[in-house]
């Protein structure tokens, strides 16, 4: 080895040892044979092979067959367990949404919210996807870790325009060279590079969509320009890719809520002894739109045969507007159900009412709108240097900046006309008839005119909220790879990665009751005070429900929602509306609204690749260890019960060692098997580690600690806070696969996996000293442990052996079984809450079945995606701390395209063809909680490529 080579290796060692770690690096933009970056490179290479000759006149049109071939090549050739989905053509992933494209991958399940694959607005820190049932997923952009300013850990995938992507990879048991931060796996989104294809490439796509329930149109336009050419200082390439899209949605929901027994004194003919009837009913009438802007650029320079410089930039801006309208029964503290005495009811075999009539129903109507803008900028520079034929070096720098801004409002009008009323004393009571027996649930009031008359409503409540979060991350990486000549040992790799992240969380909430005396934040008043009448401001009434709500059978007589003054934005409307009531929104941040966090990580890894023959079987793989030091800081404020305040800053440090081992046995040229083990960890979300402490009076006991026999151990005053002392969730991961690749686009794969996870997070109590007094602090704690195990199977093939046009037929199919069991932190002795539960959002069974056709100019796809029931939450709205589930759900999607020439293609597609209704229930299907309908989406696109 030359002296210069030794100096490079020694420099890396010196930096590592000065920081207290061994020499290592990360796989963020690794040399050609390394982990995630290698898989991304394989993806680009296999997509390029759609062109038959490397001429500058070639047009890159991959088609569905080639997209499957390249995805299969990634899985087959990777030195770890990976699944991929690749763009069928320039600017065309097989689904309209980045999250939806992931549902086709074995072991991945997605959430659907507001008509798309997405996460719920009020739970933005929970990813829209799970991998093998776990939500602790790392998101990478071109092999580099990405964070979000939402307060969570993961990039908001639904915000990234799918037209910018060449493909998506899911790594399920990453080796030690991969950036840490997951226990479920890694999702890597890949953008395009100018050196991915020869010569010039120009592509443009125009798409239109129709959303049937919203009865609105949307669409997108995207374009790509790429070229490469020789210069006097080496070959250079430039690429620019842009996309803008607008979509609409409508989501109709009917809620039944919790059930309870028939109260004494009420007679229901034929009711069973164990009869249960609902307390009341609601509707959710949601609608809104999304706007996605994405720009990706890249520059590559082959400065010398052994030196490649690449600069990339990705900017995305996601705007989501939601108008959330609610009409709900408010029992105002009533502890019993109110079935109509003597009414006709029907019951199922478990004793739950399936139809009937309810008395003393008093309704309120609310608006809770959200206006979200989420931006992400990711800017990188890397240099790959082949120092010699055997020694390779990579330097990579990344800067990511993200913002998360949200404005929210709240507005309630009520059929209660004065303070202190109950359902029995209110003037504007209703009798409700409901029927849950048909294909669609329905409920109505016997006096519909009551609900549509503005003279019956009064203003009762308003709220405003703003969120202004920012996140910045700078990451530097230095990798080395050394090819060992001959023998069992093939490669040695190592290096360093340093990341410095800053997160600022800023959020307000300002709510108040609307009383004749003015805005009242405490909502405390004497009984019998009249509310402000809607008739005083008739312009603040909005007619509802939305036309043809839930197919037009529920509340056809009309209702009223609260409305806002016209304005240039949600916030402008809110300011003008609150002014009518003498109120002013909270538009600045107080100390309790602010949290500043820092996170600095230094990671080092060392891995060895090996290959050889054992018992006549070719084997290869890698083994290594990653060592990570994490330093965190969280700055906030202590709020004492006497009104005084004090700053607080919590600094922590911990070191984790993460070993990994991968082995592949090439049983034949087409049959191979893998085994993988790794240890991984996921850091808590930033919002969970926020440090703002509220302390109650130190002389008032609010928490009693007892032993197993109920004896008092200690008593404490109480408080509440985030928890900067949280430990990472850790996992030991085992995988075993068998893979048969019998054709370029034909394979059968089978895998089994097992994860042992420790440190799940949940609400709990920790004991901390403040001002010389130990408090019981209600916060998030590491509480649960559990296991996740299952099997995956996948099959894909084109039936080229069939005659004539039938030879274009193909099929993709996969199935996942996942079983999990984790400690339920909300279980208490004697309650009906189970002590162990499955993981939230995890279906035990799920599968995808996709029919394919590609022959000549025609390409078609019919995709059926199904997931079984899953545990939704323990503490959901209306569940009364009972276990809440989602019924099995399926979606049928279709697309067909026609290539008029090598340059021009037209396609049409449809999503949710069966108009499937989703159902959430409490404990049993006999106790439905929420029925939901979303849009069917119909679209067309015209794509030109030159």
The whole-number pLDDT of residue 24 equals 32
**707: confidence class by pLDDT, cuts 50, 70, 90:** confident
**Residues contacting residue 750 through CB under 8 Å, at least 6 positions apart:** 737, 738, 739, 791, 792, 793, 794
**Choice between 256 and 842, residue whose per-residue pLDDT is larger:** 256
- What's the mean pLDDT in 9-34? 35
Q: What angle do CA 185, 483, 310 make, to 5 degrees?
A: 60
Asked whether residue 454 carries a pLDDT value surpassing 90, the answer given is yes
Closest among 722, 699, 704 to 640, alpha carbons compared: 699
Q: What is the pLDDT of residues 657-678, one digit of tens each?
A: 999 999 999 999 999 999 999 9
Taking a C-beta distance cutoff of 8 angstroms, is the pair 711, 691 a contact? no
The whole-number pLDDT of residue 14 equals 32
- What's the mean pLDDT in 423-444? 93
Round to whole Å and give the CA distance between 751 and 462: 53
* Buried-exposed string 79-112: b where 16+ CB fall within 10 A, e elsewhere: bbbbbbbbbbbbbbbbbbbbbbbbbbbbbbbbbb
**93: confidence class by pLDDT, cuts 50, 70, 90:** low
604, two tokens: 């080092």
**706: confidence class by pLDDT, cuts 50, 70, 90:** confident
- What's the mean pLDDT in 805-833? 78
The whole-number pLDDT of residue 333 equals 73
| Confidence (pTM) | 0.88
Round to whole Å and give the CA distance between 21 and 630: 12
Q: What is the pLDDT of residues 509-565, one digit of tens each?
A: 999 999 888 899 988 888 888 999 999 999 999 999 999 999 999 999 999 999 999
The whole-number pLDDT of residue 334 equals 77
H or E element, residue 701: none
**100: confidence class by pLDDT, cuts 50, 70, 90:** confident
Round to whole Å and give the CA distance between 290 and 669: 48
Asked whether residue 26 carries a pLDDT value surpassing 70, the answer given is no
- What's the mean pLDDT in 356-362? 95
Q: What is the pLDDT of residues 210-252, one digit of tens each?
A: 999 999 999 999 999 999 999 999 999 999 999 999 999 999 9
The whole-number pLDDT of residue 388 equals 95
**10: confidence class by pLDDT, cuts 50, 70, 90:** very low
Round to whole Å and give the CA distance between 577 and 583: 9
Average pLDDT, the chain: 88
Strand partners, 526: none
Task: Choose the weakest-confidence range: 20-34, 254-268, 359-373.
Answer: 20-34
**21: confidence class by pLDDT, cuts 50, 70, 90:** very low
The rounded percent of the chain whose pLDDT value lies above 90 is: 72
Q: What is the pLDDT of residues 579-622, one digit of tens each?
A: 999 999 999 999 999 999 999 999 999 999 999 999 999 999 99
Round to whole Å and give the CA distance between 112 and 251: 11
Asked whether residue 8 carries a pLDDT value surpassing 60, the answer given is no
Q: How many residues does the chain have?
A: 946
Asked whether residue 329 carries a pLDDT value surpassing 50, the answer given is yes
**38: confidence class by pLDDT, cuts 50, 70, 90:** low
- What's the mean pLDDT in 398-402? 97
Asked whether residue 303 carries a pLDDT value surpassing 90, the answer given is yes
The whole-number pLDDT of residue 103 equals 85
Strands 928-934 and 918-922, by their bridges, are: antiparallel
Q: What is the pLDDT of residues 154-209, one digit of tens each?
A: 888 888 888 898 889 999 999 999 999 999 999 999 999 999 989 999 999 999 99
Strands 185-191 and 137-141, by their bridges, are: parallel
Asked whether residue 55 carries a pLDDT value surpassing 50, the answer given is no
**Choice between 42 and 374, residue whose per-residue pLDDT is larger:** 374
């Amino acid at each position: 080895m030359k002296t210069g080579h030794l100096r490079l290796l020694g420099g890396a060692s010196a930096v590592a040892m000065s920081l207290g770690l061994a020499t290592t690096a990360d796989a963020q933009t690794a040399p050609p044979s390394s982990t995630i970056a290698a898989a991304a490179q394989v993806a680009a290479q296999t997509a390029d092979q759609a062109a038959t000759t490397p001429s500058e006149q070639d047009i890159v049109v991959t088609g569905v067959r080639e997209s499957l071939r390249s995805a299969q090549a990634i899985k087959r050739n990777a030195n770890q367990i990976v699944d991929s989905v690749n763009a069928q053509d320039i600017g065309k992933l097989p689904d309209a949404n980045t999250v939806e494209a992931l549902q086709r991958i074995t072991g991945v399940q997605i959430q659907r919210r507001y008509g798309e694959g997405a996460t719920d607005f009020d739970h933005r820190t929970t990813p829209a996807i799970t991998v093998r049932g776990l939500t602790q997923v790392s998101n990478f952009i071109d092999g580099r870790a990405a964070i979000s300013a939402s307060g969570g850990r993961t990039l908001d995938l639904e915000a990234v325009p799918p037209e910018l992507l060449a493909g998506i990879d899911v790594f399920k048991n990453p080796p030690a060279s991969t950036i840490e931060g997951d226990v479920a796996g890694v999702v890597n989104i890949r953008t395009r590079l100018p050196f991915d294809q020869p010569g010039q490439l120009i592509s443009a796509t125009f798409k239109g969509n129709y959303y049937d329930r919203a009865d609105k149109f949307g669409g997108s336009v995207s374009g790509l320009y790429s070229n490469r050419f020789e210069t006097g200082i080496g070959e250079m390439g430039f690429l620019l890719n842009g996309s803008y899209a607008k979509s609409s949605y409508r989501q109709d929901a009917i809620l039944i809520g919790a059930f309870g027994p028939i109260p004494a004194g009420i007679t229901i003919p034929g009711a069973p002894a164990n009869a249960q009837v609902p307390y009341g009913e609601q509707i959710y009438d949601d609608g809104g739109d999304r706007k996605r802007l994405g720009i990706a650029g890249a520059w590559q320079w082959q400065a010398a045969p052994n030196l490649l410089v690449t600069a990339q930039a990705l900017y995305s801006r996601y705007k989501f507007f939601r108008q959330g309208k609610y009409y709900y029964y408010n029992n105002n503290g009533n502890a019993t159900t109110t079935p109509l005495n003597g009414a006709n009811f029907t019951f199922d075999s478990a004793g739950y009412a399936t139809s009937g009539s309810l008395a003393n129903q008093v309704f309120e109507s609310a608006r809770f709108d959200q206006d979200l803008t989420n931006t992400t900028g990711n800017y990188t520079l890397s240099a790959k240097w082949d120092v010699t034929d055997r020694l390779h070096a990579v330097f990579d720098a990344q800067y990511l900046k993200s913002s998360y801004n949200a404005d929210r409002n709240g507005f309630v009008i009520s059929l209660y006309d004065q303070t202190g009323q109950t359902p029995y004393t209110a003037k504007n009571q209703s009798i409700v008839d409901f029927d849950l027996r048909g294909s669609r649930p329905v409920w109505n009031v016997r006096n519909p005119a009551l609900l549509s008359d503005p003279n019956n409503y009064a203003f009762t409540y308003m709220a405003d909220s703003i969120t202004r979060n920012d996140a910045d991350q700078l990451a530097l990486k230095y990798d080395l790879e050394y090819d060992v000549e001959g023998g069992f040992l093939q490669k040695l790799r190592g290096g360093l990665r340093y990341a410095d992240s800053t997160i600022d969380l800023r959020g307000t909430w300002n709510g108040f009751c609307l009383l004749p005396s003015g805005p009242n934040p405490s909502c405390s008043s004497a009984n019998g005070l009249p509310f402000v009448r809607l008739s005083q401001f008739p312009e603040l009434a909005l007619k509802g429900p939305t036309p043809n709500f839930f197919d037009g059978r529920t509340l056809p007589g009309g209702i009223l929602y609260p409305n806002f003054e016209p304005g240039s934005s949600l916030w402008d409307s809110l300011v003008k509306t609150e002014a009518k009531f003498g109120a002013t929104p909270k538009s600045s941040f107080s100390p309790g609204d602010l949290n500043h966090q820092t996170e600095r990580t230094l990671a080092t890894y060392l891995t060895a690749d090996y290959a050889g023959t054992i018992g006549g079987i070719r084997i290869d793989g890698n083994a290594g260890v990653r060592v990570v030091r994490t330093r965190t800081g969280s700055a906030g404020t202590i709020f004492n019960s006497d009104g005084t305040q004090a700053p607080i800053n919590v600094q922590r440090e911990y070191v984790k060692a993460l070993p990994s081992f991968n082995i592949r046995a090439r049983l034949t040229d087409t049959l191979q098997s893998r085994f993988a083990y790794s240890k991984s960890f996921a850091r808590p979300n930033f919002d969970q580690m926020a440090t703002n402490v509220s302390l109650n009076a130190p002389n008032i006991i609010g928490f009693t600690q007892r032993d197993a026999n109920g004896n008092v151990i200690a008593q404490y005053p109480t408080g509440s806070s985030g928890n900067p002392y949280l430990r990472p969730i850790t996992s030991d991961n085992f995988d075993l696969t068998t893979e048969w690749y019998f054709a370029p686009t034909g394979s059968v794969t089978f895998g089994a996996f097992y994860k042992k996870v420790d440190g799940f997070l949940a609400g709990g109590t920790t004991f901390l000293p403040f001002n010389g007094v130990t408090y019981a602090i209600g916060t998030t704690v590491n509480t649960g442990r559990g296991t996740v195990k299952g099997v995956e199977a996948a099959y894909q093939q084109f039936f080229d052996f069939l005659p004539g046009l039938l030879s274009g037929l193909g099929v993709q199919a996969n199935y996942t079984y996942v079983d999990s069991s984790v400690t339920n932190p909300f279980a208490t002795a004697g309650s009906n809450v189970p002590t162990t539960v499955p993981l939230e959002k995890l279906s035990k069974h799920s599968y995808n079945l996709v029919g394919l056709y590609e022959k000549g100019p025609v390409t078609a796809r019919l995709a059926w995606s199904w997931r079984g029931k899953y545990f939704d939450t323990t503490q959901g709205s209306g569940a009364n701390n009972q276990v809440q589930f989602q019924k099995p759900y399926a979606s049928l999607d279709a697309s067909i395209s026609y290539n008029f020439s090598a340059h021009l293609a037209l396609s049409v597609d449809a999503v949710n063809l069966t108009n499937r209704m989703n159902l959430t229930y409490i404990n049993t299907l006999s106790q439905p909680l929420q029925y939901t309908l979303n849009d069917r989406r119909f679209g067309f696109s015209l794509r030109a490529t030159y």
